[in-house]
Structure 1
């Protein structure tokens, strides 16, 4: 089923196109693959990046929009990504980057296209767990910049995933979020048994 990719803000796309057209911006980026790419590079598949900063006792928390991420494609594959952020003057280019999440995002999107139900793809970051997931939102008409994970939505952890979390295994939010909540909640101090009295001290 084709994914319903939400439209990115036009100024965000323009800022990425401007950066790609700037030899200085590309040369100064820490992206050897992008600098060495032959042929035109184009921004594709804009995904809103939402951040879940904290978990509530119920395991559900509102997310905040951190930016829009574009995969930069050159030829047959994505060689980097471009991040944009919201400033007081509107959407602006932030930086280029590369690394394992580029290939992992593409792989997760290909996985999602095999699901029969239509979804709106987003990215969901869990800073406290050093985890990023493809978030498949069930409401394809929703504003990609708002909302929070619904229990029936699907999360696909991207590689590298935290220890004990299998990458590229889809989970319903209702199933995975309690596991992540448990991971993110500090363990309560255990009550230790009282120490025996010292010799010569009152019992």
Structure 2
């Protein structure tokens, strides 16, 4: 079923369009694809980027905060780069273009999500402590995309490259994945053997 992609703030979109029209912004050192595809380049599929700052041992869903709106930059039928916008005192503004493995991984995860039987609102969820990025499929497609926490029935799709021990592109509910993430970030203390002559 089609995803309900939330609308990005108009200033965010305008700032990306302005950056695409700027030779200086497009010719950043890390965006060879933009230099090799002079146009037309179109920003599409805006996704709010949320961050989990910490995951507590009690297993409660962590609070999230919105940090960016990310646009996929398309040339023809495929995404060749992405653009991030950030909130400043003057409003949403262009931050940077980038490429890399998360670009293709995001596109792949979105295609698979569109084939799922349920309707979701797509977001991105970053877990910096694990160097992990996931496609967050929120079950309420009409929710405010800038707020909220992952519900137990929401689906997370780890993007590649995923941390060791976590399968990339394997959809999991938050209820199933949260205990794994909690254990990874809060490992159980290891017991050390008592010194010789001390009581066990």
- TM value normalised by structure 1: 0.94
- 1:123 is matched with which residue? 124
- 1:50 is matched with which residue? 50
Q: Indicate the SS of the match to 1:28.
A: coil
- 1:97 is matched with which residue? 98
1:177 lines up with 2:178 in the alignment = yes
Q: Distance in 2 between matches of 1:185 and 1:105?
A: 28
Q: Distance in 1 between matches of 2:186 and 2:166?
A: 16
Q: Distance in 1 between matches of 2:31 and 2:191?
A: 47
Contact 1:29–1:97 (8 Å) recurs in 2: no
C-alpha RMSD of matched pairs (Å): 1.2
Q: Indicate the SS of the match to 2:45.
A: strand
> Which range moves more in the overlay, 103-112 or 55-64?
55-64
Q: Which runs of 5+ in 1 are unaligned?
A: 198-203
- 1:168 is matched with which residue? 169
Q: Indicate the SS of the match to 1:107.
A: helix
- 2:27 is matched with which residue? 27
- Structure 1 position 103, deviation (Å): 0.4
- Structure 1 position 186, deviation (Å): 4.1
- Structure showing greater Rg: 1
- 2:150 is matched with which residue? 149
- TM value normalised by structure 2: 0.95
- Structure 1 position 189, deviation (Å): 4.5
- Structure 1 position 37, deviation (Å): 0.8
For residues 61-117 of structure 1, what are the alpha-carbon distances to aligned partners after superposition, in whole Å with 9 as ceiling and x for unaligned?
110101000000011110000000001111010000000101000000000011111
- 2:41 is matched with which residue? 41
Q: Distance in 2 between matches of 1:129 and 1:36?
A: 33
Q: Indicate the SS of the match to 2:5.
A: coil
Contact 1:50–1:125 (8 Å) recurs in 2: yes
- Structure 1 position 29, deviation (Å): 4.6
Q: Indicate the SS of the match to 1:149.
A: coil
- 2:69 is matched with which residue? 68
Q: Distance in 2 between matches of 1:67 and 1:39?
A: 25
